Amino acid sequence: MKKWNMIIDVAECTNCNLCTLAAMDEYVGNDWPGYSAPMPKHGHKWINILQKERGQIPMIDIAYVPTMCNHCDDAPCMKAAPKGAIKKRRDGIVIIDPAKAKGQKQLVEACPYGHIWWNEELQLPQAWTFDAHLIDQGWAKTRGDQSCPTGAMRAIKVEDDEMARIAHEQDLEVIKPELGSKPRVYYRNLWRYTKCFIGGSVAEDRNGTIDCVEGASVQLVKDGASIAVTTTDNYGDFKFDKLEENSGRYTVQIYAGGRSKVVETNLGASINLGEIRL
């Protein structure tokens, strides 16, 4: 049985918000009986883009992570929903029944991802339905997938085994895997959001002129052991990425032209060590 999954590539999301706007376009003012009641014009973010700025000027980057109902296979919300207010479809999609779920505000709290939204006017918990009403009319894509200019958001319908294989081969992750809720929304390059870096820029004084040092060898040492090595580019820049936040002390050792320099840092969030003069 093929089921729906979403694959999101964090490195390709530009925060254009076309997916969030497409969701508003589809659900605000539109009633899809059996699937969803209208979404309020403001206040709900059925697709919500998280963001993270890493580093300090001028070595920074920014990651955007579109999030939405994960359509979990072991959905915590279903356990909190009496009377079949939430159903899991055979194609993997989780639907909050817009009639049966009326008044069940506890469902908002039941979602560990914060993706059940309370509609005050209708007294209804709501979430993104994977555009099931369109899927059932034969649409091959969700609105967000269709509108995404970079292909950062792709809905695919495959067997679970196939999805597991894709996830493994492409290093996909889910959000909060430790909950065991088995989300059907997968992420590529999530480290851009969850991990951090140590970077810097190596320079030297050449007869009174400060210049960037290209090709310097830079080693990252933790607890006495070398954990990564890189070389500086033509701007003298180096960067060690995918490090854990708040992971303690690191030593950066720089070697170039017989000279060396050692810089210590205590890693909280991403850090740009700035200019390091040999």
Partner 1 sequence: MAMARLKFPIILFGAAQLLKRASHRHPDFNSRVQEHNLVAQIMARDEGIGRWFEFKNGIITSKAGLHAKPDIKLMFKNAKIGVALLTPPINWLDQINAQKDFLLTVDGPEYLTNWFAQTLMMSQSAGLKYGTKLRRGVTRYCNMTNGGPVFVYVKDGKILRLTPIDLAADDGASWTIEAKGQKLTPPRKTTLAPHGQNAKSIVYSPDRLLYPMKRVDFDPNGERNPQNRGKSGYERISWDAAIKLVTDEIKRQKREYGPGAITFSHGSHHTWGNIGYYLSALFRFANAVGMTRIHHNPDSWEGWYWGAVHHWGHTLRVGQSETYGTVEDCLQNCDMIVSWAADPESTSGSYGAQEGTTRRQWLKNQKLGIKVVHVDPYYNATAQFLPGKWFAPKPTTSVAMAMAIAYVWIKEDLYDKKYVETHTVGFDKWKTYLLGEDDGIAKTPEWQEKETGVPAKDVRALAREWGKKRVYLAPGGWGNGHGGACRNQTGIPWARVMVCLVAMQGLGKPGINMGNLQWGTPIDFNFYFPGYADGGMSGDLENTSMPVELYQRMPQLPTMNSNNQRIPRIFVPEAILDGKAEGYPWVGKSIEHQFPKFTYPAAGHSPVHMLYKYGGSILSTMNNTNRWVRMYQSPNLEFVVNQSIWFEGEAKFADVILPACTNFERTDISEWAGLGGYGHHGQQQLNHRVIVFQAPALKPQGESKSDFWIFNELCKPLGLANYFSEGCNEIDWVKRVYLASDMPKVMSWRKFLKRGYFVVPAEKEKLRAPVSFRWFFENRKKDVPEAQPLPSDYTEEYLRGLQTQSGKLEFECNSLKRFNDLERPPIVKYEPSWEGAHSGQLFERYPLQLLTPHSKYSFHTQGDGKDSFLLNIEDHRVKVDDYYYWIVRMNAEDAKARGIGKHDLVKVFNDRGAVICAALPTQRLPRGVAHGYESSAVYDPMGEPGKSVDRGGCLNLLTPERTQTKSTHSLAGANSLVQIEPWDGRTEHMSAAFAAMEKDNEIMQTLKEAHLVPAK
Give the containing element (helix H, strand E) for 78: helix 76-79
Q: Is 71 or 143 the residue whose CB approaches partner 1 more closely?
A: 143
Q: Helix, strand, coil: what percent of the chain each, to 5?
A: 20, 40, 40
Q: Is 150 or 247 the residue whose CB approaches partner 1 more closely?
A: 150
Judged by CB under 8 A, the residue of 29, 114, 180, 257 near partner 1 is 29
Judged by CB under 8 A, the residue of 15, 170, 226, 246 near partner 1 is 15
**Smallest gap from residue 147 Cβ to partner 1 (A):** 6
Distance CA 254, CA 237 (A): 12
Judged by CB under 8 A, the residue of 3, 5, 6, 20 near partner 1 is 20
- What six digits make up the tokens of 166? 């894709």
**Smallest gap from residue 31 Cβ to partner 1 (A):** 11
> Judged by CB under 8 A, does residue 217 bind partner 1?
no
Cα 165 versus chain centre, distance: 20
Distance CA 8, CA 155 (A): 9
Number of residues that bind partner 1 (CB under 8 A): 45
Comparing CA positions, the residue from 16, 52, 44 lying closest to residue 189 is 52
Judged by CB under 8 A, the residue of 76, 92, 183, 236 near partner 1 is 236
- Write out the E strands in 24-141: 48-56, 59-67, 86-88, 94-96, 117-119, 124-126
**Burial of 149 per CB tally in 10 Å (0-12, 13-18, 19+):** exposed
Judged by CB under 8 A, the residue of 210, 227, 229, 262 near partner 1 is 210
> Judged by CB under 8 A, does residue 269 bind partner 1?
no
Q: Bridge-partner residues for 255, per DSSP?
A: 217, 260
**Smallest gap from residue 235 Cβ to partner 1 (A):** 5
Binding segment toward partner 1, per CB under 8 A, in 23-31, 91-99, 104-112, 253-261:
23-31
| Contact positions vs partner 1 (CB under 8 A) | 12, 14-18, 20-22, 24-26, 28-30, 41-42, 45, 53, 55-62, 137, 143, 146-147, 149-151, 203, 209-212, 214, 234-237, 275
